[in-house]
Structure 1
């Protein structure tokens, strides 16, 4: 069980993927301090090795120490990009399993969240320090509420692509490209009876279709309790158009199932990126009036 944060707790900001300057996390440090937290910035923040926040060994060491140290109560990944999967199989999660703590991130960090989910531990898909300056107040407050164990309840307006219904199960998901990337690895995830959420950025429409085909062929769309479609930002098309929008692509691959589906949920690569608890039991209600998503944040059902 993950203990909610308390004022005075220490949290670590580390970079497991793409490089990031120290100046880019200063506003996040200030916000976290305003929440009453002590902030420690790892050596990967400001480190550079090609596109990465330091070489693999440094990023592995920074993540490992943050997982192992009992005085660090939460790990907040500074940004996404690419690089987390390069070190994931070398991480020792044994101490983390004995004393779980919040791990926060999205985008490339989806792979780490999936791995944590496979261990039966919750994690937070939410806004990262690089994006604190552009994040909405609602996105930032949702992260704070989850970290400190406060109740969270989301209401979203209707969308013409929505499919009505009610489903209940653990939340799991994240960036579609990374969910596709971890398939067949030690970080793979099961979806039966769960509420899956998807988001992505800067992808070609044909590749979205290819990844949805893969999820379908792998059986990951078949037995869901519900499906949440978040932001699909900056989608691209070829000179010869694919012929469908991203929502039309997803609707086609889920049309044969009966579970509720909602579109346009505020999660992903946009300023309004609400914190979602991966591994937490949730209830999704979709109707003509809109969408409700609720879970009991002190349940820690993983």
Structure 2
């Protein structure tokens, strides 16, 4: 089930959806952004994997040349995912093996307190967002902290945070340093700049599937474990 685009409104209808037939015959739910609401709900209630991946709006006549569209095709064809990305000065070294969950930061914060909210204990969490004010990213990170979503994580992946906005009086830092302020004291491995985002750089990630995350001085690797 390939979503056309993200858009607004999934949380308005999620409690009206009947998942009985879906439970008996699951299909890949493919999308990101507001689709995070659907993906989190499905994983928390039914432990069924979904794909955080490019949607139909990203396809074009040159799509076959796009390695991120290709990663979706490979996921659908059964290829075991294995991704690497460059090191970052804010990375925290370490390794972890756990189920991968995550998606759009705004949606994950929005779900806190609902029965669709991710339970993050002993999970690897990935986050991305677009077009937010820096003060709002700060507020959402505080919300995740206070709800203890970071407390028992095994690992954290920070993807793209594009088109961040600031106010007339500057917030005083960039988005990665802002995020790092909230998570730097935890003991789990953390990587920044992973290619999962609202932009072209958006690899297919299987939510609810076991992955191995390795963060070293030389770079980052994320591999599916079956």
Whole-angstrom distance in 2 between the partners of 1:114 and 1:106:
11
* Alignment partner of 1:291 is 2:220: yes
Q: C-alpha distance in 2, partners of 1:148/1:186?
A: 32
Aligned equivalents of 1:255, 1:277: Cα separation in 2: 26
1:174 aligns with 2:103: yes
1:122 and 2:49 correspond: yes
Deviation (angstroms), 1:197: 0.2
Which of 33, 36, 40 pairs up with 1:110? 36
Residue in 1 that maps onto 2:129: 200
SS at 1:77 equivalent: coil
Q: Any idea what SS the aligned residue of 1:78 has?
A: coil
1:83 and 2:9 equivalent?
Answer: yes
How well do the aligned residues superpose, as a CA RMSD in angstroms? 1.1
Partner of 2:93: 164
Offset, 1:166: 0.3
- Give the equivalent residue in structure 1 for 2:145: 216
The secondary structure found in structure 2 opposite 1:89 is helix
Matched, 1:184 2:99: no
User: Would you say how many aligned residue pairs link Structure 1 and Structure 2?
Assistant: 223
Q: TM-score, normalised by structure 1?
A: 0.72
TM-score (norm 2): 0.96
Q: Determine the C-alpha separation between the residues in 2 that align with 1:149 and 1:185.
A: 33
- Which structure would you say has the larger Rg? 1
CA distance in 1, matches of 2:81, 2:67: 11
The 5 Å alignment of 1:238-277 reads 238-277=167-206
Following superposition, the deviation at residue 125 of structure 1 comes to: 0.2
Cα displacement string for residues 151-186 of structure 1 (whole angstroms, at most 9, x for unaligned residues): 210011111111100011111010000001111112
Match of 1:20 in 2: none
Q: Which has the higher contact order (CA 8 A, sep 6+)?
A: 2
Q: Which runs of 5+ in 1 are unaligned?
A: 1-74
1:190-226 per-position Cα deviation (integer Å, ceiling 9, x unaligned):
0011000000000000000000000000000111110
1:153 aligned onto 2:82: yes
**How far apart are residue 285 of structure 1 and its match?**
0.1
Quick one: distance in 2 between partners of 1:90 and 1:238?
Answer: 38
| TM-superposed deviation, 1:233 | 0.5
Offset, 1:284: 0.2
Q: Any stretches of 5+ residues in structure 2 without a counterpart? A: none
